C-alpha cells in the first residue's frame, strides 16, 4: 500500500490529523482491497496510488463534514458499499458510529465482514441484501455513486430514523437529479469537496426528510 507519509499528508490536506492507529488501520484496509482485488474484482482500480486517492482519501473527505453535521454517536447504513467505501473508512475514523455496509453482491459484503474481523473493528459489518428487503432504522444513510438521488432517497426513506440525515457522495453537482426530487426531501447543503490528488469534481449532497 502507499506510504504512511502520503496517507498522512493527504489527510492533513483534508484537515484531518490521523492517529498512529488510524493510519495503521487505513493502510491495512488499503492493502486488503489490493489483496482481495486480485481474486474477487472488488474495484476497477488496481495500483496502490489510485487506491489511496480514489478510495481512501476520497472517503476520508467526508469525515470533517460528517463531524460537523453529526458529531455524536449514530447507526449508519452505507448503501451499495462495494468494498466498504466510504463505510469502512467512517468506521475506522469514528468509533462512535456503528456502520453497516450493504451490498447486493455477496463477495463484496463478505469482504467488508473480513475487514471488520482482520482489523478488529467491532463497529463495522458487511451485509449481503438488497436495500428494498432491509428493515431497521438508521440515523445516517450514506452512498457513494450508488444510484440517482431520487432512487437513493426513495429506496431508503423507510430506513431513515426521525431527524436522521442522508449523505450522498457525488461527482459534479447533480443538477438534474436535484430538480427531480419530491417535496418531502429537503436538500439543505450541497458541499463541494477537494480531494488531494484526485482531479475530479466531488461533492456531498446532504438531505433530510421535510418536516411535516
- 86 cis-preceded (ω within 30 degrees of 0): yes
pTM: 0.96
Q: How distant, in Å, are the alpha carbons of 47, 96, 142, 167 from that of 145?
A: 21, 25, 10, 11
Q: How confident is the model at residue 191 (pLDDT cuts 50, 70, 90)?
A: very high
Cell of 140: 445516517
Q: Is the pLDDT of residue 118 over 90?
A: yes
Angle between helices 20-40 and 4-13 (to 10 degrees): 110
CA 110 – CA 71 distance, rounded (Å): 29
Lowest mean pLDDT among 132-136, 137-141, 208-212: 208-212
Percent of the chain with pLDDT over 90: 85
Contact of 30 with 2, CB cutoff 8 Å = yes
Percent of the chain with pLDDT over 70: 98
CA atoms within 13 A on the CB side of 5: 0
CA atoms within 13 A on the CB side of 197: 21
- Residue 55 burial (C-beta neighbours within 10 Å; 0-12, 13-18, 19+): buried
Which residue, chain included where needed, has cell 463531524?
67
CA 108 – CA 56 distance, rounded (Å): 17
Q: Is the pLDDT of residue 27 over 90?
A: yes
Interval 46-91: pLDDT, tens: 777 788 888 899 999 999 999 999 999 999 999 999 999 999 999 9
Tell me the domain boundaries of the chain. 62-209
CATH class of the region 62-209: alpha beta
Contact of 56 with 93, CB cutoff 8 Å = no
Name the average pLDDT for the chain: 94
Amino acid at each position: 500500500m502507499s506510504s504512511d507519509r502520503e496517507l498522512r499528508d493527504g489527510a492533513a490536506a483534508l484537515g484531518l490529523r490521523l492517529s498512529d492507529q488510524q493510519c495503521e488501520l487505513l493502510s491495512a484496509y488499503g492493502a486488503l482491497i489490493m489483496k482481495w482485488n486480485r481474486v474477487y474484482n472488488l474495484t476497477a482500480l488496481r495500483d496502490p496510488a489510485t487506491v489511496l486517492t480514489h478510495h481512501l482519501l476520497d472517503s476520508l473527505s467526508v469525515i470533517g463534514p460528517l463531524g460537523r453535521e453529526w458529531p455524536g454517536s449514530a447507526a449508519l447504513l452505507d448503501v451499495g458499499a462495494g468494498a466498504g467505501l466510504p463505510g469502512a473508512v467512517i468506521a475506522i475514523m469514528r468509533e462512535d458510529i456503528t456502520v453497516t455496509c450493504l451490498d447486493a453482491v455477496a463477495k463484496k459484503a463478505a469482504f467488508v465482514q473480513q475487514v471488520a474481523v482482520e482489523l478488529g473493528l467491532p463497529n463495522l459489518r458487511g451485509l449481503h441484501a438488497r436495500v428494498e428487503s432491509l428493515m431497521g432504522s438508521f440515523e445516517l444513510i450514506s452512498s457513494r455513486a450508488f444510484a440517482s438521488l431520487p432512487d437513493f432517497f426513495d429506496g431508503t426513506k423507510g430506513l431513515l430514523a426521525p431527524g436522521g440525515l442522508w449523505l450522498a457522495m457525488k461527482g459534479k453537482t447533480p443538477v438534474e437529479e436535484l430538480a427531480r426530487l419530491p417535496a418531502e426531501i429537503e436538500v439543505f447543503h450541497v458541499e463541494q469537496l477537494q480531494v488531494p490528488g484526485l482531479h475530479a469534481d466531488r461533492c456531498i449532497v446532504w438531505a433530510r426528510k421535510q418536516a411535516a
